[in-house]
Structure 1
Amino acid sequence: MLHHAIRAAVTVALLGTFSGVAYYVLCIWSATKFLRARRLGASVSANSSFPPVSILKPLKGTDPEMHESFRSHCRQDYPRYEIIFGASDRDDPALAVVERLKAEFPHRDIRSLVCPQVLGTNVKVSNLAHMVPVAKYDHLVVNDSDIQVSADYLRRIMAPLDDPKVGMVTCLYRGVAGPTLGSRLEAVGISTDFSAGVLLAKELEGGIRFGLGSTLAFRRRELQSIGGFEALVDYLADDYELGARIAAQSLEVKLAPVVVETHLPAYSLRRFFEHQLRWARSVRGSRAGGYFGLILTMGIPWALLGLLLSRGANWAWALLGVTLAARLCMAVVVGRHVLQDRQMPSLLWLVPLRDVITLVVWVASYAGHKVHWRGDDFYLKDGKLGRINS
């Protein structure tokens, strides 16, 4: 009986490994398609209208390299735009960084807004709901406070919105790791796993139907048509939800060719795991079926299981080698070539460890609904946050 059970488990591990390798190959294919399209559309058309833009940046606390990230938004090669920063607490330390920015760039239209009335459990979205009415312009860009951009950022993300069939533009991002192992594991996940999944979803689903918090560019009328940010104040994955609701209006969500950057905190392993668990439960709440299917993409853990169950058989070692080669190839194509992540070659050795941790997080995500976010504990139900009373 035990012999038959082990044989069945080996068969399952084999199927899981083959499925994972197929996923890696598909990710490489989707990444090469994106690279080809990016090369063909490398220049922004001179006929683009470049409408005036309001950049909305919600704040809560400080992030690594925050001042430099803010400065990058003030150096845009773009005709007319404003930057509005919003915080719920007038003593938020990020507002002091904004004051330094105003002094450094007096010619830029920079404003800060205190939003003491909290409209829902997601304070970031609550701040955005207060910021939209004071924005001067009808084209809006929202990105996280830790995002650093190139000088042509606004030109590249606004150009697709000239097409009335496009309702939102979003973009990929890379993470610059801090000195800790947790921070490096986070960077590896962004560059070799998360972004690969986004690119493959774009191809398999005929476009993306969600947004990424690294960049959300849209018109005011599309925001109003879905009920404004007020409709999203209790959602954890507000970026996903905003993109999904705009896509549901029969509008396209475009993935811009530009890649932005975020400097990651020096996560301890505990904080890294908490962050991964929050992200995993958020995705589970937004895309339950797709999230469950992630188990079929974990080629390295399946190959390791096959190696263990076969007691180190030669064929299992060979299969692990093929799986590892395919996985690292995907990491290089997506991380180094698509995201232009210069640190990726030095972090490749962490990919197998990161994939095993991904499996652990996937299992743990089904063990509850609690998430820890910005110092507070919440429960998550149907994608919405509920505060846990301490």
Structure 2
Amino acid sequence: MDSGTILLAFSLLGIVWYTALWAIGLMGCLTARKRYRLRPRSPSASAPRETVPGVSILRPLKGLDPNLYENLESTFTQEYPNFEILLSVADENDQALPVVRELMVRYPSVDAKIIIGEENVGVNPKVNNLVRSYRAAANDILWVLDSNVMVDRGTLARSVDVLVGSPSSSTQSKRIGLVHHAFYASANTLALGAQIEEAFLNTNHAKMYVAINTAAVDSCVVGKSNMYRRSDVERVNGSLKPLSGRKDDSTSEPCGLPAFGRFLAEDNMIAGALWHELGLRHDLSCDVVQNVVGDMTVMDYVKRRVRWIRVRKHMVLAATLAEPFTESIVLSAIAASSAKYLFGFPPLLLLPVHFALWLYVDMDVYASLVGYPMPTAKRFQFIFAWAAREMLALPIYLFAILGDEVEWRGRKYQVLRNGEVKRSSGTGWFDRLRWPGSRVDLNQYERLGVDVESS
């Protein structure tokens, strides 16, 4: 095969890939516009208590997250007649407890309980924190919410409607086993790292997350806000092997939430287990949850993305390897070279059009999540952060793909096969690097989760 034929094949492949990525991005944009710009009130919000299923809301707490009072208060004010709240901390001296007690005094009619103490079932501190609440919950439907997210008062009712209602057409008539929510970030600081994180999560991340879940070809869940049935979780163990096909000796393996303590990304693994082991499907409600991004340096942002990619690499390798070719800068280079070879189209003409349209679509996704167009005063700041995110994407990826160690809550872990982890001694070459401006606790607002938006 001569070089001309090879160049032709690669150019055709580049145009096809470019078109496919635009189709996915537009799917995410249009779906977000349709799904999130209208949020009707659920009939169950005002229904008699005995006519709706009970829900146990589990909120694991550790320390003072940004906006903690408002985050937790949004749970107390849910418009739903039948729910309880279980707020768990590992340590009786945790700084979150005074905030919780103040809310319990302010809302005495809400059935809220504090659970102190953890049960060590694995390396994941969140699972260790949650196990006692999981077992003490009075209801089968569980809504697990990170402490750093805030929800609309109608979110619970609308989510229950999706979980117990008839499956949507996209789920091929299979029962919904998990309801999750897209989220948007709100930076409460001018720190550049926080602004970059906000730009990323509200645009490219959200666009791909919504698109992949619309296609619904596989499990794709970030666990800031997940609703599922405990009776379903009790049947899965994270093997991702169909329940009907398991060998007899596999029934002795532990199931339920404790089985997921060996994963850092327990949220994604629980979702994957419900999908693959039980054959259930997921659905997004028409709600989003809000994260307030605390103070974050650029290096904090870099380390967070490195951690995310390294975990994802051991769970969805093929998709992770394809990830850089979905980013706008690499994609624009592919399109420009392909268009020049095939059609003689000048790259200097294609590139500005590409980036202008890409930015326009991202800003439209932002408006869908937040509920209103971006204020004019914020646009320059946002565009600067957005451009910084796009330029950092490839260098971060190249650095992340070479290693296997991640840092979470000041502890180092070695990521193993399928996303399992073990504690790391921290003596590798990665640990000898010094990150100027970084802090020990990098979990200021985002719990570790596998974002398969790029996967």
Q: TM-score range by the shorter chain?
A: 0.7 to 0.9
Note the alpha carbon deviations across 1:196-250, whole angstroms, 9 max, x for none.
11122123344x5233222110111111111211111021211111111111211
Aligned match of 2:22: 24
Moved more, 318-327 or 22-31: 22-31
Aligned match of 1:281: 310
For residue 223 of structure 2, the aligned residue among 204, 213, 216 is: 213
**Normalization by structure 1: what TM-score?**
0.88
Aligned match of 1:370: 405
User: Is this contact kept in 1: 2:192–2:297, CA < 8 A?
Assistant: yes
Moved more, 345-354 or 364-373: 345-354
Letter in 2 for 1:23: L
**Normalization by structure 2: what TM-score?**
0.76
Equivalent-residue separation in structure 1 for 2:331 and 2:404 (angstroms): 26
Q: How does 1:165-180 map to 2 (within 5 A)?
A: 165-177=175-187, 178-180=189-191
For residue 325 of structure 1, the aligned residue among 350, 356, 367 is: 356
The secondary structure found in structure 1 opposite 2:63 is coil
Pairwise CA distance, 1:29 = 2.5
1:65 and 2:74 are equivalent in the alignment: no
Note the alpha carbon deviations across 1:104-146, whole angstroms, 9 max, x for none.
2222111111224322111101111221111111110001110
CA gap of 1:307–1:296, structure 2 versus 1, over 3 A, is closer
For residue 384 of structure 1, the aligned residue among 411, 414, 420 is: 420
Equivalent-residue separation in structure 2 for 1:172 and 1:182 (angstroms): 21
Note the alpha carbon deviations across 1:254-304, whole angstroms, 9 max, x for none.
111101101012101111111111112222222222121212211324536
Aligned match of 2:279: 250
Pairwise CA distance, 1:329 = 2.3
CA gap of 1:179–1:17, structure 2 versus 1, over 3 A, is farther
Aligned match of 1:119: 121
For residue 268 of structure 1, the aligned residue among 279, 282, 297 is: 297
User: Is this contact kept in 2: 1:237–1:286, CA < 8 A?
Assistant: no
Letter in 1 for 2:413: F
Aligned match of 1:337: 368
Count residues in correspondence: 380
CA gap of 1:37–1:146, structure 2 versus 1, over 3 A, is closer
Q: How does 1:129-148 map to 2 (within 5 A)?
A: 129-148=131-150
Q: How does 1:94-109 map to 2 (within 5 A)?
A: 94-109=96-111
CA gap of 1:339–1:50, structure 2 versus 1, over 3 A, is farther
Letter in 2 for 1:94: A
Letter in 2 for 1:331: D
CA RMSD between the two structures = 2.9
Letter in 2 for 1:276: R
Letter in 2 for 1:285: H
CA gap of 1:343–1:36, structure 2 versus 1, over 3 A, is closer
Aligned match of 1:199: 210
CA gap of 1:55–1:305, structure 2 versus 1, over 3 A, is same
Letter in 2 for 1:224: E
CA gap of 1:12–1:270, structure 2 versus 1, over 3 A, is farther
Q: How does 1:46-57 map to 2 (within 5 A)?
A: 50-57=52-59
Equivalent-residue separation in structure 1 for 2:359 and 2:13 (angstroms): 20
1:150 and 2:164 are equivalent in the alignment: no
Equivalent-residue separation in structure 1 for 2:407 and 2:374 (angstroms): 29
The secondary structure found in structure 2 opposite 1:23 is helix
Q: How does 1:290-309 map to 2 (within 5 A)?
A: 290-303=319-332
Aligned match of 1:184: 195
Note the alpha carbon deviations across 1:21-66, whole angstroms, 9 max, x for none.
6413421223313533567884535698531111001122221001
Pairwise CA distance, 1:379 = 1.2
Moved more, 299-308 or 377-386: 299-308
Equivalent-residue separation in structure 2 for 1:21 and 1:224 (angstroms): 43
Pairwise CA distance, 1:14 = 10
Pairwise CA distance, 1:374 = 1.0
CA gap of 1:329–1:18, structure 2 versus 1, over 3 A, is farther
User: Is this contact kept in 2: 1:20–1:300, CA < 8 A?
Assistant: no
Letter in 2 for 1:193: N
Letter in 2 for 1:317: L
Moved more, 187-196 or 95-104: 95-104
Structure 1: give runs of 5+ residues left out of the alignment: none
Equivalent-residue separation in structure 2 for 1:338 and 1:210 (angstroms): 18
Letter in 1 for 2:347: A
Equivalent-residue separation in structure 1 for 2:177 and 2:59 (angstroms): 20
User: Is this contact kept in 2: 1:58–1:85, CA < 8 A?
Assistant: yes
Equivalent-residue separation in structure 2 for 1:306 and 1:45 (angstroms): 49
Aligned match of 1:316: 347
For residue 260 of structure 2, the aligned residue among 216, 232, 239 is: 232
CA gap of 1:34–1:335, structure 2 versus 1, over 3 A, is closer
User: Is this contact kept in 1: 2:141–2:228, CA < 8 A?
Assistant: yes
Equivalent-residue separation in structure 2 for 1:23 and 1:130 (angstroms): 44
Equivalent-residue separation in structure 1 for 2:365 and 2:177 (angstroms): 26
